[in-house]
Chains A and B, each alone.
Chain A
C-alpha cells in the first residue's frame, strides 16, 4: 500500500487545481463533493497504511523516496516521505478532521460567492500540511511550513473586501515569518553540523553527542523560535486571536487542529536534539507554562465567542509546549491529539451558533440557545467538559499525563498547571452558560432567525463529539488500569531520547501520589464549574458593556494586557517611522536624484549637441574631412 502514499498529498493538490480553475464553472455541490472526496480518500489510504503499522511492535519507519531534487556537489536532497508513528498519526488527524471540516464548510459557506475559492484554499492547506508531516527531511518540512503559512494568510483574509481582515491576515503571516527566520537558521545550523537534512541521519548521529553541546543548544533554540511563531506562544501569539477574522471552519482547521500544532510536531520530531539541550528544554517549559497562564487570564474577560476559543487555543498550546519542555513528548502529542478533536468541535459549534445568530459573535447578545439549537448545544457541552478535563472524556487523560510529569519535575509546576486548568474550566463554562442558558438577549430579528444548522454541519459536530469522548482511551495510564497504548506506540520514536537519558522517559510516580493528584485536580475543576454555574446560570450575571467603567484589573484583562499596543509602539511604529525617514532622505533626495539625473544628463547633452546641426552642407563636409584626418593621423602615428 505504500506505493500509493504519494496519492495522499497529491489528491488535495489536484482538488486545489480543480477548484481554482473549474470551480466557478461547476455547481457548488460538485465543488464541495470533489474537495471533500479528495480529503476522504487520503484518509482512507492513511488508515490502510496505518493498520499494519500498529500490529507490528516497534515498527520501523517507512521511507518512500520520490524524486531527486537538489544535487549540487556534496549536497543531495530528495523529495521523500518518512511514514512513522508520529507522521501517520498526524496524517490521520489532518485528513480525518480535515474531511469533517470540509463537509461542515459545505453547509457553513453555502451562501458565499467565493465558495470554490474557499475549498481550493482548504485543499491546498491540507496538501501543504501533509507535506509538512510526511517529509523525511527538514527541507520538505520547511516547504510545508511556509505553505501552511501562506494558506493561513489566504484563508484568514478570505473575505478580502474588508480591510481589517486583510490586516489580520498580514499580521499572521508576518509574525509567522519572524519565527520562520529562527527555523531557517536552525535548519542551516543542522546542515552545518550534520551535513544532512534527513531526520534519520540526524537521529543516527545525535546519539554520540554529549549533552549540553553548544551547537545543539543553538539549533534547538532556533527551532523553538520557529515553533513560537507558528504555534502562537509568548511573545508571538497576538496573531492567533486576530486570525479569528477568517471564516469559522478555517479557525477550526488551521488555528486549532493542524497548523498551530506544527511547532509541537517539529519538536517531537527533533526530540533527540532537545534531550541533548536541557537548557533549551527549560526555556520551552517556562515559555509554554507562561503562555498557558497568560492566555488563560485574558480568556476570562473576552466577550467574543471566537476570541475566547482563540485564547483557549493559545493556552492549550502552551500546555503542549510545557509538556515538551518537561521531556514528556508522548504526553504533549497526546494532548495535541485530543485537543484537535474537542477544539475543532468547539469552533465548529461556535460557527453553528454564529450561523444561527445571523453573524452575531458577542456573548452578551446571546443566551438561552439551548432550546433552539439542541444538537449544537449538546455537542458543545461535550466539548466544554472535555476541555475542562473531566473524566472519562479525552481532555482528562491528556491533561492529567502532562500534570503528572510536571509534578515529577517539581510540585510547584504542578500547582501552576492546575491553576491554568482551573481558569480554563472557568472561562469555558462561562462561555457555555452565557451562550446556551438564561434568557435570550439579542434583537428580535435574530430571535426570529434562530434555527438548528443543516445536517452537513451537525453531523461533523456529532462525529467530533464522539471522538472527544473516546479519544482519551488511546493512552489510559497504568494507574487506572489502562495499557497506555500510545506510550508504547511512540517508544521507537523516542528511542534515541531514552538511550541518552538511560532511563524511562515516562517518570514514575507512585500510584498513591497519582491518585491524589488526579483526584484533587478533578475536585478543584468541579468546584470551579459549580462556581461558574452559580454566577452565570443561577444568578444570571452578564458581562457589562464596554462603555461601563471597569476596575484596573478588569480593563487590563479585557484589553489583552495591551500587548498589541505595546508591540505597535515598540516595534511597528519605529519601523514605519524609520522607513518614512529613509524614504524622505535617501529615496527622494539621493536615489531619485541620481535616476532623474541620468535622464537630465541625456537631455542636456542632446540640447548641446543639437547645435552641430547647422544645416550647412559646407560645414558638414568640413567636419567629415576633419574626421577623416583625425582617423588617419591616429592610425598611422599610433602604430
Chain B
C-alpha cells in the first residue's frame, strides 16, 4: 500500500518538475514548483520525517516560493516570451541531462537491498530531531543564525537603490 502511495507521489513530483521546465510563463513555473514541493512533503511523510515535512512546507513552499513570486511580479514577467536557445543546444542539453541520470542511477544502483532499519517512536518527530540537533549539532545550529544575519544584511544592502550623485 505504501508502495502505491510512493508511486503516485513520485509521478506527481516528476510531472510537476517537468512542467516547471516547460511552462511558458514564469508564474506558471513557480506554481508548478509549489506543487512539486507539496509532493516532496508527501515523500517526507512516507519516510517518517514528520518534522522535516512541515518545515519543508513552511520554508520552501511558504517562504521561498513566495519570494520568487514577489521577484517575478517586481520584474513584470507576466507573459514574456524569452528568446529560445537554438535547437541543437536544446538537444544537447536534454541528452546531457539524460546521460547524467543514467550515470547517477548506474552508479548508485544496487546499493543495497537492505530493509529499512528499525526505528524508535521518536524518529523524525520534532522531539527526536530536536534532541539530536541541540546536542550533537549545537554548533552548526548557532552558526546557522550567523549565516542568516549575513544573508539578511547582504540582501538589504544589495536591494538598496543607489542614488546617483
Asked if A and B form a direct contact in the complex, defined as CB atoms under 8 angstroms apart, the reply is yes
Interface centre among A618, A622, A628, A629 (most CB of B within 10 A): A629
**Complex contact B107–A632 (CB within 8 A):** yes
**Complex contact B107–A629 (CB within 8 A):** no
**Complex contact A636–B96 (CB within 8 A):** no
**Complex contact B85–A625 (CB within 8 A):** no
0/1 per residue, A377-410, Cβ < 8 Å to B?
0000000000000000000000000000000000
The number of inter-chain residue pairs (CB within 8 angstroms) is: 24
**Complex contact A629–B85 (CB within 8 A):** no
Closest residue on chain A to residue B108 by CB atoms: A636
Chain A hits for B99, CB < 8 A: 629
B103 lies within 8 A of chain A by Cβ: yes
Question: Within A582-639, which residues are at the interface with B (CB < 8 Å)?
Answer: 618, 622, 625-626, 628-629, 632-633, 635-637
**Complex contact A633–B96 (CB within 8 A):** no
Q: What is the total number of residues of chain B having a CB less than 8 Å from a CB of chain A? A: 11
**Complex contact B96–A626 (CB within 8 A):** yes
**Complex contact A622–B96 (CB within 8 A):** yes
**Complex contact B85–A618 (CB within 8 A):** yes
B116 lies within 8 A of chain A by Cβ: no
B143 lies within 8 A of chain A by Cβ: no
B104 lies within 8 A of chain A by Cβ: yes
Closest residue on chain B to residue A621 by CB atoms: B93
Question: Within B80-138, which residues are at the interface with A (CB < 8 Å)?
Answer: 85, 89, 92-93, 96, 99-100, 103-104, 106-107
Q: Among A618, A625, A632, A635, point to the contact of B96 (Cβ < 8 A).
A: A625
Q: Name the distance in Å between B82's Cβ and chain A's nearest Cβ.
A: 12
Q: Among A618, A629, A635, A637, point to the contact of B100 (Cβ < 8 A).
A: A629
**Complex contact B103–A636 (CB within 8 A):** yes
Complex Cα–Cα for A366 and B93 (A) = 104
**Complex contact A629–B93 (CB within 8 A):** no
Q: Name the distance in Å between B98's Cβ and chain A's nearest Cβ.
A: 11
Complex Cα–Cα for A637 and B103 (A) = 9
Chain A hits for B103, CB < 8 A: 629, 632-633, 636
**Complex contact B106–A629 (CB within 8 A):** no
Closest residue on chain B to residue A633 by CB atoms: B103
Complex Cα–Cα for A626 and B103 (A) = 12
Closest residue on chain A to residue B99 by CB atoms: A629
Chain A hits for B96, CB < 8 A: 622, 625-626, 629
Q: Interface range on chain A: under 10, 10 to 19, 20 to 34, or 35 or more?
A: 10 to 19
Complex Cα–Cα for A352 and B1 (A) = 125
Q: Among B85, B89, B92, B106, point to the contact of A636 (Cβ < 8 A).
A: B106
Chain A hits for B104, CB < 8 A: 632
Complex Cα–Cα for A203 and B8 (A) = 106
Question: Within A423-456, which residues are at the interface with B (CB < 8 Å)?
Answer: none
Chain B hits for A637, CB < 8 A: 106-107
**Complex contact B107–A625 (CB within 8 A):** no
Q: Name the distance in Å between A626's Cβ and chain B's nearest Cβ.
A: 7
Complex Cα–Cα for A633 and B108 (A) = 11
Chain B hits for A622, CB < 8 A: 92-93, 96
0/1 per residue, B34-50, Cβ < 8 Å to A?
00000000000000000
Complex Cα–Cα for A626 and B96 (A) = 7
Chain A hits for B106, CB < 8 A: 636-637
Chain B hits for A626, CB < 8 A: 96
Q: Name the distance in Å between B107's Cβ and chain A's nearest Cβ.
A: 4
Q: Name the distance in Å between B85's Cβ and chain A's nearest Cβ.
A: 7
**Complex contact B100–A636 (CB within 8 A):** no
Complex Cα–Cα for A628 and B99 (A) = 11
Closest residue on chain B to residue A632 by CB atoms: B103
Complex Cα–Cα for A632 and B100 (A) = 9
Closest residue on chain A to residue B93 by CB atoms: A622
Closest residue on chain B to residue A634 by CB atoms: B103
Chain B hits for A618, CB < 8 A: 85, 89
Chain B hits for A629, CB < 8 A: 96, 99-100, 103
Q: Name the distance in Å between A618's Cβ and chain B's nearest Cβ.
A: 7
Closest residue on chain A to residue B97 by CB atoms: A625
Q: Name the distance in Å between A462's Cβ and chain B's nearest Cβ.
A: 96
Complex Cα–Cα for A146 and B159 (A) = 79
Complex Cα–Cα for A626 and B85 (A) = 18
**Complex contact B93–A636 (CB within 8 A):** no
Chain B hits for A633, CB < 8 A: 103
Chain B hits for A632, CB < 8 A: 100, 103-104, 107
Complex Cα–Cα for A216 and B64 (A) = 97
0/1 per residue, A129-167, Cβ < 8 Å to B?
000000000000000000000000000000000000000
Closest residue on chain A to residue B106 by CB atoms: A636
Q: Name the distance in Å between B29's Cβ and chain A's nearest Cβ.
A: 18
Complex Cα–Cα for A625 and B107 (A) = 16
Complex Cα–Cα for A355 and B16 (A) = 111
0/1 per residue, B57-94, Cβ < 8 Å to A?
00000000000000000000000000001000100110
Complex Cα–Cα for A168 and B87 (A) = 83
Complex Cα–Cα for A635 and B103 (A) = 10
Closest residue on chain A to residue B100 by CB atoms: A629
Complex Cα–Cα for A625 and B93 (A) = 10
Complex Cα–Cα for A618 and B100 (A) = 17
Complex Cα–Cα for A29 and B48 (A) = 103
Complex Cα–Cα for A478 and B125 (A) = 126
Complex Cα–Cα for A626 and B95 (A) = 11
Closest residue on chain A to residue B85 by CB atoms: A618
Complex Cα–Cα for A625 and B92 (A) = 12
Complex Cα–Cα for A637 and B104 (A) = 11
Would you list 17 pairs from A and B whose C-beta atoms are within 8 A, ordered by A residue?
A618-B85, A622-B92, A622-B93, A622-B96, A625-B96, A625-B100, A628-B100, A629-B99, A629-B100, A629-B103, A632-B100, A632-B103, A635-B107, A636-B103, A636-B106, A636-B107, A637-B107
Other than A625-B96, A626-B96, A636-B107, give 16 A-B pairs with Cβ distance below 8 A: A622-B92, A622-B93, A622-B96, A628-B100, A629-B96, A629-B99, A629-B100, A629-B103, A632-B103, A632-B104, A632-B107, A635-B107, A636-B103, A636-B106, A637-B106, A637-B107
A-B pairs with lowest CB-CB distance, top 10: A636-B107, A633-B103, A632-B103, A629-B100, A625-B96, A629-B103, A629-B99, A632-B107, A626-B96, A625-B100
